[in-house]
Structure formats: structure tokens, C-alpha cells
Amino acid sequence: MSQVTDPEDLIPSILAESRIIAVVGLSSNADRPSYEVAHYLQSHGYRIVPVNPTYAGAHILGEPCYATLQEAASAVEKKGQKIDVVDVFRKAEDIPPVVDDAIAIKADCIWMQLGIAHQAAAEKARAVGLKVVMDKCIKVEHALHA
């Protein structure tokens, strides 16, 4: 039997306990899945923190966009808050450095969107106590568990 907690068991508590979600790879294009998901989460009371170097300095969904997860975390910390979930819209091969950043900012969870998984990075995150969800859409899971 695996020692890893089934992500299905973690999802309701992640969604209930989290308030601030950094969306890595968030696009300003309303037709992109990242925008749709972030808008949905925002409309359900979560604070979205956009992270995308392409849009750094601009605003997406009314929130300032940051070039890096570290910059985003620093801005949130200035308000006495922290990023709870790092929701990733990037290719699987881009996941390891995002996991390193999530560990560095002491996020509680790394969430890899539908179609994205990276086992080695997930194991690294779990080894330091992060909750890990892979290959699942946070919007779909919220709708199922809300």
C-alpha cells in the first residue's frame, strides 16, 4: 500500500482551507483555459495572483501580474498573507523549477492542471510536505466538491 495520500482525499481540504492561489502561466486572453479557471476561482472568493513573465507589470482579472512566483509571494507577504496553492498551467517539462519555487515560498500545495503531471517533481514536493495534485482541473474539482 502506498504511503502517499490519495490526492482525491486532499482536494476538499485544499479547496476549503486555501484563499490565495498563484496561477502560473495565467494568460490575459479570456479564451484561454488559464483565464477561464482563474476567473471562476476569483468569482468563488479566491484571490488570484497571476504569474507570467509575458504580462509582468500588467493586470489580469484586476490583479497585478508578476514575472516570477518569488515576486508574487513577496508582494502577498507585504500584506501579511501567503500563497496557499500554486496552480500551474505549464508543460510537464516546465514543472520542476515551478515546484522548486513553490517549495521556496512555502506554499501549501502544488496543483498541476489537467493533462500535466511530473512524478519526480511531485515526489520532491511531497518530501518537504507540500500537498500535490496532478492532472486535474481545479475549476472542475471545485465544482464537484463545493
The reported pLDDT for the residue numbered 6 is: 59
Q: DSSP states of 89-133 as a string? A: -S-GGGHHHHHHHHHHTT-SEEEEPTT---HHHHHHHHHTT-EEE
The reported pLDDT for the residue numbered 20 is: 98
Q: What are the chain's domains?
A: 7-145 (3.40.50.720)
Low pLDDT (below 50) residues in the chain: 1-4
The reported pLDDT for the residue numbered 4 is: 46
The reported pLDDT for the residue numbered 74 is: 97
Q: Rg of the chain's alpha carbons, rounded to an integer?
A: 14
